[in-house]
Amino acid sequence: MQEFLEKVNPKQKKYFSQLRSKLRGLPDVEETIEIDEISGEWCPVYRVKGSDLVWVHFDEHLWLNFPVEAKFEKKALQDENLDSRAIECVKDAEESGGEKWATIELKSGDEVDQILPLLELRHSVLSS
């Protein structure tokens, strides 16, 4: 991971480190670096019990994508404590290869903090 992070711009590295520390603190989360089949880029991937929690991408901005299964979507849309931007990314999830995937850009530490409750909810759905 250290070698991978040397190639990331400092601002993205800061936001990623903030996100990474929270994700790694969740139970049963595995971290790997894999090639994204669509972009062809190396990405950190976080999984819970073999299921994708979130993929992290580094382009002009740091961005995330994650699957939106029916059970997770229902819980996310019913959760009144989630940030409206997080809810919108779930609503706007697009079909790809038989699955819906949500995407969200993170341009600040505050935006990382705002998306974390959604990822924690996703973690709880995958853990159950």
Residues (pLDDT < 70) of the chain are none
In the three-class reduction of DSSP (H, G, I as helix; E, B as strand; rest coil), residue 37 is classed as coil
Total tally of structural domains belonging to the chain: 1
pLDDT, tens digit, for every residue of 96-113? 889 999 999 999 999 999
In the three-class reduction of DSSP (H, G, I as helix; E, B as strand; rest coil), residue 38 is classed as coil
Residue 94 structure tokens: 């697009």
Tell me how far CA of residue 48 lies from CA of 31, 69, 74, 89, 91, in angstroms.
9, 14, 19, 21, 23
pLDDT of residue 128: 92
DSSP string, 59-105: SSSEEEEEE--HHHHHHHHH-TTS-HHHHHHHHT-EEETTEEEEEEE
CA distance 80 to 42: 34
pLDDT of residue 102: 97
In the three-class reduction of DSSP (H, G, I as helix; E, B as strand; rest coil), residue 31 is classed as strand
CA distance 56 to 8: 12
Domain that holds residue 18: 2-127
Q: What is the CATH number of the domain that holds 13?
A: 3.90.1150.20
pLDDT of residue 4: 75
